[in-house]
Amino acid sequence: MYWLNQAAGFALSNDDLKLAEQLFGRAWNKSREDGRSNRAALNGYLEALLKSRQLDKLFSEAGKYVDTEFAPIALIEMAEAESILGNKEKAVQYARRAVDKTASDEALQFEILKAMYQVIGKEEAEAYCNERIRQNPRSLPANLFMFNLNLLNGQYDEAIEIIDRCIDIIGSDSQKKISYMGKKTSTLYTAYKQTSDKSYLQKAIRENESLLSEMPTNSNADLLNNLAFMLAEEGENFEKALDYARRAYETMPNHPEYLDTYGYVLYLNGNYSEAEKYMYEAIQQFQLRQMSVSWVIYERLGMIQEKLGVRLQAVDAYKQALAVGGDNLSEADSERIKSAIARLSEE
């Protein structure tokens, strides 16, 4: 089933719609036969029908699931079909029903809300969320809808204000509070990346440090790693960043992302030999797990080796960063790496 979905997704991305329909259909039928109905297979199957404009068949197939756990997927695809037919009112009705059906699944809720936003537009999506909040200002699902919508719109200050309200509504539910505080810090960090305003980054660091005190010691490694990286980006307290990175690494010494962060923060603290060692270990662990190694890691390795004075190795690492990054590199990233290669080649 996994490989059927993979092959079907590839066919869909290449507009081989007939093959995508066949493969997703096989995956969906197989998942039901195995008693493990697969949401991704159904979604892909309906999407293939939509793209190939088999709208009557889509309505017939999706209609089978509007009163099941798969209702959100079925209804949002029906909404898009109605939108294609020019039936805006019906599209809005189906989209609203789709989001209503996701109240108990926050991850699915966000995905369906994104689809709603794309199918019926920003104004209708906002109207829906505001209507839910007017009905019950302390409705957690309604406030979460609006939080997600503001996040989609890039309205980060509004999203942060709403997630604070959600945290207040949650009250003493410590597990949910941790989850929502995580959403807040993630939003603050996204705002920083989009705006380059360091005040967002500093708030994210403070929130994460507050969150650290709320979490059990045996489940805070990701948070420690995130804190180390944020402090490294802030550029004001590398020693503290090193302490967090070391603590994350010690909880799981073979974790590739923790190794990468630890190596990078060691570099920022001037410990270049140790930094190179951990960066190589990070690359090895990514490869052992058959995970792709980011171009960023190769650039960091180049930076470390440049400080160690091993120019040829540094140039190789920088060239690897360019090769891996390819078209995904921004112009600024590409120019920075090329400048480093030129600088070392002239020496």
Contact criterion met (CB below 8 Å) for 42 and 30: no
CB atoms within 10 A of CB 290: 6
- Could you tell me the maximum CA-CA distance found in the chain, to the nearest angstrom? 70
Look at residue 128 in the predicted model and tell me its pLDDT. Answer: 86
Own/partner contacts of 240-249, CB < 8 Å, gap of 24 or more, are 241/265, 241/268, 242/266, 242/268, 242/269, 247/221, 248/221, 248/222, 248/224, 249/278
pLDDT tens by residue, 10-28: 999 999 999 999 999 999 9
pLDDT at 3 over 60: yes
> Which candidate, 191, 189, 207, places its Cα nearest to that of 157?
191
Q: Is the dihedral of CA 219, 221, 226, 232 positive or negative?
A: positive
pLDDT, mean over the chain: 91
Look at residue 213 in the predicted model and tell me its pLDDT. Answer: 80
pLDDT at 216 over 70: no
Of residues 110 and 3, more confidently modeled:
3
Task: Report the pLDDT averaged over residues 224-245.
Answer: 94
Of residues 197 and 136, more confidently modeled:
197
Q: pLDDT band at residue 274, thresholds of 50, 70 and 90?
A: very high
pLDDT tens by residue, 300-326: 999 999 999 999 999 999 999 999 999
Q: pLDDT band at residue 218, thresholds of 50, 70 and 90?
A: low
